Amino acid sequence: MIEDIIKISKEAGSIIRNGFGTNLNIEFKTNETNLVTQIDKASEKLIKEFISKNYPTHGILAEESGETKNSSDFVWVVDPLDGTTNFAHSLPIFSVSIGVQKSGKTVAGVVYDVMQDIVYCAEKGSGAFANDKKISVSKNDNIGHSLLVTGFPYDLAESNEKIFEKFEAFTRASRGMRRLGSAAIDFCYVAKGVFDGFWEVYLHPWDVCAGKFILEEAGGRVTGFDGEDIDIYSKKILATNGLIHNTMVDIMRKN
């Protein structure tokens, strides 16, 4: 199955790459900061057609078209273009994210970094890979030596999580905070030790499913802000190399 997920992620990535920098038809979703383009829709259509043809009994949860229930225990959780705002502004940081769950547990995940042509992938128990090279989290246990990343929800009013206070606290505690604009890539950058930690509120299951799994297979830890176990539907995500996790939980609690 992983080879199939990689294949369709790369095909969807070609559609996105061809659309990059072209005249886009931009529509607003919940508000004027929440965008969708014809390329998000074309990518999703391609991926869904592939699943329906090759895995006709599998369910699908996809960002732009919602849930398609089916008879099997398998569900594909699909973000056809993670980083649409970057894409719409010709900033080359975005991905295709596909996780597959069996009976509610993720068993495979692929994040395709389109412009760098890097496939991040993992299967249950396999470890995590970036273009066939095994990756693992950083060995840094000092928050002061850490590079962290976050993201912000489209609807800031929806959030009463004091995200800017947390942003400030983590900026002061670490070597720096970044905001890349593709949650799936944020997870993978923790998985390969570029970042030491990532946190965000109000992510969606399609932002989380593949990236969380890849990071866990790379030796990382993913919990809620209090260190509690979470699933892909959780609204508060703390994802780290494991070693700075408790320190980040402490900072979360204080801010």
Q: Considering only the stretches 82-90, 106-114, 155-163, 208-216, report the one whose residues sit in contact with Ca ion under the rule CB under 5 A.
A: 82-90
List the strands of the sheet with 95-102, edge to edge.
66-68, 59-62, 74-82, 95-102, 105-113, 118-123, 128-130, 133-135
CA distance 17 to 2: 22
Q: What is the DSSP string of 24-53?
A: --EEESSSTTSEEEHHHHHHHHHHHHHHHH
Pairing label, strands 118-123, 26-28: unpaired
Binding to ligand IPD, residues 148-167 (CB under 6 A): 151-153
Query: Would you tell me how many other CB atoms lie within 10 Å of the CB of residue 244?
Result: 24
* Binder of residue 205, out of Ca ion, ligand IPD, none (CB less than 5 to 8 A by kind): none
CB of residue 57 vs ligand IPD: minimum separation in angstroms?
A: 27
Which of 113, 200, 207, 216 forms a contact with Ca ion (CB under 5 A)? 207
Which of 51, 58, 62, 82 forms a contact with Ca ion (CB under 5 A)? 82
CB of residue 31 vs ligand IPD: minimum separation in angstroms?
A: 12
Which of 13, 59, 109, 181 forms a contact with ligand IPD (CB under 6 A)? 181
Residue closer to Ca ion, measured from CB, 77 or 251: 77
CB of residue 98 vs ligand IPD: minimum separation in angstroms?
A: 13
196 lies in the site for Ca ion, by CB under 5 A: no
216 lies in the site for Ca ion, by CB under 5 A: no
Residue closer to Ca ion, measured from CB, 101 or 247: 101
Pairing label, strands 118-123, 105-113: antiparallel
CA distance 83 to 94: 5
Residue closer to ligand IPD, measured from CB, 65 or 70: 65
CB of residue 107 vs Ca ion: minimum separation in angstroms?
A: 21
Which of 9, 76, 82, 143 forms a contact with ligand IPD (CB under 6 A)? 82
Identify which of 210, 192, 204 has the alpha carbon closest to the alpha carbon of residue 121: 210
Place of tokens 């930690």: 197
Classified as helix, coil or strand, 174 is: coil
79 lies in the site for Ca ion, by CB under 5 A: yes
CA distance 16 to 35: 15
Residues of this chain that interact with Ca ion (CB under 5 A) are 63, 79, 81-82, 207
Residues of this chain that interact with ligand IPD (CB under 6 A) are 79, 82-84, 151-153, 181-183, 200, 203, 207
